[in-house]
Amino acid sequence: MYMTIAVLVTSVEFNKMASDYENKLKTLISELFDAILETELKRQSAVLNLEMISKTHEKVQSEQKISSYYKQKLNSLYNTALQDSDAECDMLRKCLELIAGIKSVQEEKRVTTRVSTASVVDEQPRKSMRRGVLMSMLQKSAQTLPLWIGKPHEKVPYLCGAISASVDYIAKPGDKVAAKVKTEEEEQWILAEVVSYNSTTLKYEVDDIDEEGRAFHTLSKRKVVPLPQWKANPETDPNALFEKGTLVMALYPQTTCFYRAVISERPTSSFDDYLVLFEDNSYADGYSPALRVAQKHKISSGVKGFRRIDVDQYDEEKFNEDQVDQNDSGPDNQEVNQLLLGGNNAQALRTCLASLPVRTKDIATKENATLLTIRVLSSIKAGDVASTIQSLNIEELDAIMKYIYKGFSMNLDGQQCACLLTWHEKVTAKGGMGCIIRVLADRKRL
């Protein structure tokens, strides 16, 4: 029997709370409905005025001259068109604010209801959502982050793009935040959801979005960073975006953890994501290949003055072909063959992995290195594949994956393809989805 605790709220209190939320939602939805109707009326009025402008221009063209009467009339019509446009924009902004308010109340209702009705606490973790479903939900949430559309010269609000929250800002229940929690090994920044805020202790109670833990985390304000609630438009508000080379904390793709990264490329449109380089010691230059991360899943690193790094040194497009290293010719065929003849298959594999010809444009060199590596992979017995993979580091696993995908693009026979599929399964089991993502995102390809 698992330990139980008393119900946190009575049924009467819960019903009142649920009724309050329903009333809030009904009021907001009613206001949104009225705002949409008013927006449509203003749009229709604006269309009629534009038609009048068009007809007036036709009359002027037919008479081949513009009298003072038509000058005055067109001037009046254009001023009315500008007023109509401003009025319609104001109504659209009101609609967006109401939609954001509805989403906020729904989130607060969902979190508060879940916490208030938690009558049983057991020793087992809560049921975790399937990883694929969770990642899909996070991606959709990032894509549907509302775009900030301000008036000309209007100041961008807090929590829009790279603009942090104000000092006195208090996140609401349901808000997504980056939270610094203590794990068994170290403190880590995770994606979490605000459950409540205690104004007496000045501490938040947050829930790990991954739902792997049993208890909520109680954290001070400095360990909770609200995520953006508005997406910045690069075309109208470029100053609300992180500059290229800025050090940030970004959500690593297909995970719920934030890691240090450097902005490689800024979004160029409201539909684009950032390209970032994550700090990763498994790579020779200390940074991962460029990966896409949404505006919502990025926060300031907290480094004073925003540390800047020259990311152009990691740009493959700026590579000078005259500066090739010895690995560009691929693995030494003779050396690999000697190792295979001596039965040292594992060392032969490492030799191939250490010499990827990724910085040459010679297709023959790439294909010859791939065929040689496939021959090495085929020489390793099926029963030894798992143990061989266990002895490899992350960089070597990524190298195998590059050879595998290059092999899939070549005209191989059935036996070779079966070998690659086997290794793909085993490498993925050890390296995880991150191994695949890094390889597919890396511009240094075979």
Q: How far apart are CA 13 and CA 189, in angstroms?
A: 35
Q: What is the pLDDT at residue 116?
A: 63
Q: How far apart are CA 405 and CA 401, in angstroms?
A: 6
Average pLDDT rounded to a whole number, residues 289-318: 63
Does the fold of domain 326-441 match that of domain 164-226? no
More confident residue, 329 or 176: 176
Domain extent listing, the chain: 11-119, 164-226, 238-318, 326-441
Q: Predicted confidence band at 143 (pLDDT cuts at 50, 70, 90)?
A: confident
More confident residue, 131 or 334: 334
Q: What is the pLDDT at residue 214?
A: 57
| Of 266-270, 271-275, 282-286, minimum mean pLDDT range | 282-286
In this structure, whether the domain defined by 164-226 belongs to CATH 3.40.1370.10 is answered with no
User: How is the beta sheet containing 217-220 ordered, strand by strand?
Assistant: 217-220, 203-208, 187-198, 176-182, 224-226
Q: Predicted confidence band at 361 (pLDDT cuts at 50, 70, 90)?
A: confident
Write phi, then psi, for 281 (nearest 5 degrees): -70, -10
Please say if the pLDDT value at position 6 is more than 80.
no
Q: What is the pLDDT at residue 223?
A: 92
Could you tell me which residues come within 8 angstroms of residue 422 by beta carbon, excluding any fewer than 6 positions away? 382, 385
Nearest 5 degrees, angle CA 21-CA 24-CA 27? 150
Candidates 3.40.50.12780, 3.40.50.720, 2.40.50.100, 2.30.30.140; CATH matching 238-318: 2.30.30.140
Question: Which structure tokens are listed for 245?
Answer: 């080379």
What three-state secondary structure class fits 316? helix
For the stretch 394-435, pLDDT in tens is 888 889 999 998 888 888 888 888 889 889 988 988 888 878
Q: pTM higher than 0.75 for the full model?
A: no
**Which ranges of 11-130 does DSSP label H, i.e. alpha helix?**
11-63, 68-116
User: How is the beta sheet containing 298-300 ordered, strand by strand?
Assistant: 291-293, 274-278, 258-265, 247-251, 298-300
Q: Predicted confidence band at 314 (pLDDT cuts at 50, 70, 90)?
A: very low
Q: Predicted confidence band at 327 (pLDDT cuts at 50, 70, 90)?
A: very low
To which residue do tokens 């500066």 refer? 323
**Exposure letters 81-112 (e unless 16+ CB within 10 A, then b):** eeebeebbeebbebbbebeebbebbebbbebb
Q: What is the pLDDT at residue 129?
A: 58
For the stretch 199-215, pLDDT in tens is 999 999 998 887 654 57
Please say if the pLDDT value at position 322 is more than 80.
no
Distances (CA, A) of 80 to 26, 36, 152, 433: 35, 21, 18, 57
Please say if the pLDDT value at position 290 is more than 50.
yes
Mean pLDDT for all residues in the chain:
82
For the stretch 38-78, pLDDT in tens is 999 988 988 998 898 888 888 888 887 778 888 888 889 88
More confident residue, 14 or 17: 17
Write phi, then psi, for 246 (nearest 5 degrees): -75, 140
Average pLDDT rounded to a whole number, residues 177-206: 88
* DSSP label at residue 182: E
Q: What is the pLDDT at residue 71?
A: 85
| Of 157-166, 269-278, 302-311, 350-359, minimum mean pLDDT range | 302-311
- Cβ neighbours around 386 below 10 Å, total: 11
Q: What is the pLDDT at residue 377?
A: 92
Q: How far apart are CA 28 and CA 49, in angstroms?
A: 31
E strand segments, 245-380: 247-251, 258-265, 274-278, 291-293, 298-300
What three-state secondary structure class fits 235? coil
Regarding the domain delimited by 326-441, which CATH topology (the fold level of the hierarchy) does it fall under?
Answer: 1.25.40
Q: How far apart are CA 56 and CA 63, in angstroms?
A: 11
